[in-house]
Structures are given as structure tokens and as C-alpha cells.
Structure 1
Amino acid sequence: MDLPQGDVRLLGSEVAGRLLASTELARLAYVAADGTPRVFPMMFHWNGEEIVMATFGGAHKIPALRARPDVALTVDTPGPPPDVLLIRGRAQVTDVAGVVPEYGLIHRRYFGEEQAAATVAEIDRPGLTMARIAVRPTWAGVLDFQTRVPRALAERS
């Protein structure tokens, strides 16, 4: 796929597809309420249009994401060579009374059907509040360090 970094069609590449279907954690970068950067590892679900994550009500990242919704995400493998998917977009935070719908899908992919069902059953109690964090990519980059490498590295070759 000969698309420039930043083109969201890179999400259709083999590397991106593999990472979006993997059990690697996404690392969500955002600006906290005190103005300093944060990176938080999170399980996620890719629905073909947005990366969906879930957190429990009261998490400090919720008001921070609402105040400054521009975020960056990475999903990567340790390598060598690493495969890296870079995404930028805006986080949309939605309060949910109960379990975020994608929460079970997320846990199913990471831990299997039986463990996902047990996890959802354990937390699904009256009064539970969660937040659905959805990031619709506006920029995408892919690095596989074989066919797609960072510009600075490519220019040195």
C-alpha cells in the first residue's frame, strides 16, 4: 500500500488490520486536567470506524478528554522489527449507565468467551457507571520497519 503517512486509508493495510485485531494494548495519549501529557494503556475494540475503549465512571481521564479531546493512539508490537500503528483523532466520551456495550467484545477478544462473560457478570451491578471513549481516526500512520519506515531513517539510507 503506497499511501502517505497521515492517510486514514492506511487503516486498511495488512499491518494495521493485524494490529487492530490483535490483543496488543492501545496506548492513549491525552492532556490531563493539570495540562501535562499522559499515556494510558487500554484494551480496545475496532468497529471499522472508531477505536472504542471503556473506563469506569469517576476516572480522571474522563473530564480531561472532554476538555481536550484531541488524542493520539498507538498499537504496536515489541519486534524486532516492531509493527506500529499510529492514530490521531478526537475522543468522544459518552456516559453509560451500566456496562459499555463494547466492553464484552473487548474482553472476549483479549481473554476469550468464558472469561469475558465472567468479567461482565462481576461488574454488572445496579448503579454502575462507565464511560465509552470513541476515537474516530483523522490521521493514521503505519511503520513496519521493512516496507514503511520513519522518514528520517529512510532519508539516511
Structure 2
Amino acid sequence: MDHEKITSESQRGYLAPEYIMFGKPTAGCDVYSFGIILLELASGKRPIEKSCSVKTYGIRNWVLPLARQGRYDEIADSKLSDKFSESELRRMVLVGLACTHSESEKRPTMLEVVPLLKGESKETLIKLERDELFSSDSMVSSQGTPTPDGGTDSVPKEDQELVGA
């Protein structure tokens, strides 16, 4: 895949920030893309969307503050109509967020992801939830907060290039 030819927002939403910056694919980039797919499946939202207020946001930045607050029911795809296991949705969201960690070296490997999704590694899932990524203390205004229309009030610096901000 030629780095210069990737211009579509729909494709860019799946690309790891380090790939966009340096154009070098790694296993961590694949993990990031898989994490975006998990968040997309859980929420029913696209990786990058424009809300009706014309604000653009990335799915990770919409999900992260809600997950930090334990508001998984608000993350869930509305088409599920409350017919889902909250613990399974929580697990999918946590793994998706871990896979899309802004620091590539902190992302799990795909070998670690599979048991997490199967629910076979509860200790690791608890460690993920206690990670600084999910700490409310690490919530910075640059992370953006969810708005009633599903957008965010700001786009994090790491994703500004993703959404063209």
C-alpha cells in the first residue's frame, strides 16, 4: 500500500497515527486497525464521522471518555436495542481501546487480544481497565469530551491529522 495514495477519510480512520506520520507499517499498526474495527462493531459508528454540528471526531475519542465513566450502554450500537451482554460489550470496548492506544508499544499483541476477547484472561482485562488510559486523572481537555450529538468538543492532537483538523 503506497503511503502517498491514502487520502480517503474512510481508509484513514483505520490507520495508526504512527503510520500516518511515518508511512511505515508495523504489527502495531495492524493491532490499531483491529481495535478500530472492534470499536466500530460495538458502537455501530464509523471510524471517522461528522456530526450534525459539522464537528469531526474519531471513534476512539468518542468512546474513551464514555468508557472512563463506565457508560457502556451509551457506547452500544442502538440497533442492539439493549439486547446485549454489558460485560461482553465492556470487554470488546476495553480491548478495542487498548488496541488503539496512542503509544504503539503499549498496545497488546494479537496473541494477547484473542484470549482477552474470549474472556479467558480476566486478570489482564482488569489490568487494562486500571491502566492510565482509563484513569479519570489522565482525562485532559485535549482528549475531547462527548457532546449530545455524538461529537467531541475538541480533537486530540494525535488524531488531528486523521480527521483533517
Tell me the TM-score normalised to structure 1 length.
0.27
Structure exhibiting the larger radius of gyration computed from Cα positions = 1
Query: Which TM-score applies when normalising by structure 2?
Result: 0.26
Which structure has more strand as a fraction of its residues? 1
In terms of fraction of residues, the more helix-rich structure is: 2
